[in-house]
Amino acid sequence: MALSLPSLEPQQQQQQTTTNREIQEIDIFHRFDVVSDSSDHHYLHIKNSSSKKTKGEGDSLTNISSGASKKIMQEWKILEKHLPDSIYVRVYENRIDLLRAVIIGAAGTPYHDGLYFFDIAFPPDYPVQPPLVYYRSFGLRINPNLYANGRVCLSLLNTWPGKKKEKWNSSESTVLQVLVSLQALVLNEKPYYNEPGSGMLPGRVIWEKKSNAYSENVFFLSCKTMLFLLRRPPKNFDGFVASHFREKASVILSACNAYINGQVRVGLYRNDGSCSSCKSSSPVHVSEKFKGLMGQLYPQLVSGFKRNGASLGDFLEQVKQPVEKKTPSFKWKTVRMFFGKLKKVLALKKENSSGQSGVQGKGS
């Protein structure tokens, strides 16, 4: 079925006909654009008409009805006009039922400066059913709502229980709302509390400790995701991924050092080295597990950013190990002192007993 695509800005039309798309996208990467290569899209070959349906999925992702096609064209126009600065979308001229989006992690969260990709598919009866959304996780679970297998749990997608007003509404809900919800409600400052039941019981201090530990792990996994993206960037986003991490490399590495050394709580590092939402300048508790994991990952980050062409300067000098050497804890110092004294006592007793046996031998 022939479909008329939404009119694009002159710059976008010029970008579509360029012979070297990747180079141009490094310099100019529009928030919304139409592309042709969908070969690595997660939903490219999925057809549910010949297989068992799963909740929220239509009969086929390729047999789009005329009503669904019209609605998808409306979605394109909404995205082209209203995407926020931190979300970029690519749609496909030959597969209008597919869409790919990337969300830049917001400042003030453990996701800051990271890139989070989502593959989206419109079901044949769209918008009766919500779109299907897959998170490109690389096998890492960075959020209670984003599973390692790519599953996305969100009330708006009808993949998670919620109030009626929070669920998909075929007459009002849009893909833009889905993307903004993922950024604001899922990739938030304290993702630990996205887990059902977290923080419900008394003991705020305990919950906060668990939340901080979870955020430490989230930041570590987000840094690993950066390396995976540099090695295997999603198609049509190659130049964008490379350019983003060249620009943000110094900030990310500075944040790593600040978190490891307990200067600021994970997620609150600012580009100027200060801390957002900090109430005091006292050192922040950092788990030994986080220090160890980041100590191992840090050289890999430096190496990956360097290969990507980032100007790192002093960070290359820190590549050996950004974590300070561990000093024995008070507990182990006490144990060592005890055994040291015990050895001395035993040595004295041995000398005394051998001396006495010698005297007895002479007098016998």
Hey, which residues are catalytic here?
153
Cβ(267)–Cβ(189) below 8 Å: yes
Give the C-alpha separation, 149 to 219, whole Å: 19
Radius of gyration of the chain (CA): 28
Cβ(142)–Cβ(229) below 8 Å: no
Cβ(299)–Cβ(320) below 8 Å: yes
What residue has token string 């190990």?
321
N-terminal to C-terminal alpha carbon distance within the chain = 118
**23 Cβ neighbours under 8 A, 6+ residues apart:** 239
Extract the runs of DSSP E, i.e. beta strands, from 66-140: 87-92, 98-104, 115-121, 132-135
